[in-house]
Amino acid sequence: MYYKAFFLILIIVTIGLTPSFAFAEESDSISTNLEAYTSGEVVIVFGKIVDITPGLPLTIQIFHNDNLIDVAQISVAQDGTFAQTFNALGPLWSGDGTYTVRGFYTVDRITETHFQFKNTLVSKTSVFSVNIPNSGVFDLSYSITGGEVKEIILDKDSYSILIDTVMEAYGSLKLQLPRESFDSKKDNGVDDVFIILIKDKDGNVFEAQYQEIETTSDFRMIEIILEPGDQTIEIVGTYVIPEFGSIVSMILLASLASVIIISKNRFASIYNWKF
């Protein structure tokens, strides 16, 4: 009798001391692929909704200092997962600091995360005096964001403008090309396109698109999108100062065709975004 009572007490005490292994209920989650971003980078927001309602979308909002920066309404997969990209560019992406990402599924199901953002689109404007072999110099006005221009030369062998840059972030380079010194024209005198080649820090060469943002009788202003690590931009036209002439440049364009064919075209379309 006493043995039975002893074992009963022992069982009760053992149960009381045994930790509970009940699993906590999984909750909704939201994250970003990086902890910090700079201008032009892509913010990837992803996560999972635990208990989904078929057909009910998820609203994702990005805030900075209580100001709504961007918003998207997306579908949630059958397993509850979701993902959405945001381009960190535009007038609203201007302030440095902590940004908040909030996911709204229902009025009582809100989850959030945070990331740091730094606006690197500080425009630097200057005029560079480009040396013309045996013919003096000409002034080339430019403005750059996301980096700086280190050197600009006129290559007498390739009859092109070579621009050395140090790009620390996504940005752009605007150039005011003086027609009397450098241009690109067809045989009938109509403006033709420039060839833009970019070499990055790994030595890869890309053909890049550009946007012509202003044209006058004196100059053509173009804008080229740049990425971190871009080091050299080569701009090829069909006309360099009269001492060089345009025929040689046309031959050069033909020789560059093989380079362009084997190089990767970085931008499939001109300007999916603007500053």
Per the CB < 8 A criterion, the answer to whether 112 and 102 are in contact is yes
**Residue 165 burial (10 A CB sphere; 0-12, 13-18, 19+):** buried
Per the CB < 8 A criterion, the answer to whether 248 and 237 are in contact is no
Range 238-243 contact pairs with CB under 8 angstroms and sequence separation of 24 or more: 238/183, 238/184, 238/185, 238/186, 238/192, 239/182, 239/183, 239/184, 239/185, 240/154, 240/159, 240/181, 240/182, 241/132, 241/135, 241/138, 241/180, 241/181, 241/182, 243/132, 243/134, 243/135
Residues in contact with 190: Cβ distance below 8 Å, sequence separation at least 6, in sequence order: none
Segment 210-219, tens digit of pLDDT:
999 999 999 9
Q: Is the pLDDT of residue 56 over 50?
A: yes
Q: Measured between alpha carbons, how far apart are the two ends of the chain, in Å?
A: 88
DSSP annotation of 66 = T
pLDDT at 239: 74
- Tokens 């009572």 -> residue: 5
Q: Is the pLDDT of residue 15 over 60?
A: no
Token pair for residue 26?
A: 């999984």
Fold of the domain built from segment(s) 29-118? Immunoglobulin-like (2.60.40)
Q: How far apart are CA 70 and CA 53, in angstroms?
A: 25
Domain ranges, ordered by start, for the chain: 29-118, 124-265
Token pair for residue 234?
A: 């080569």
Q: Is the pLDDT of residue 74 over 70?
A: yes
Q: Is the pLDDT of residue 151 over 90?
A: yes
Q: How far apart are CA 111 and CA 106, in angstroms?
A: 10
Local confidence band at 19 (pLDDT 50, 70, 90 cut-offs)? very low
How many residues in total does the chain contain? 275
Segment 228-273, tens digit of pLDDT:
899 999 999 887 775 554 444 444 455 455 454 445 555 543 333 3
pLDDT at 193: 92
Q: pLDDT > 70: what percent of the chain?
A: 77
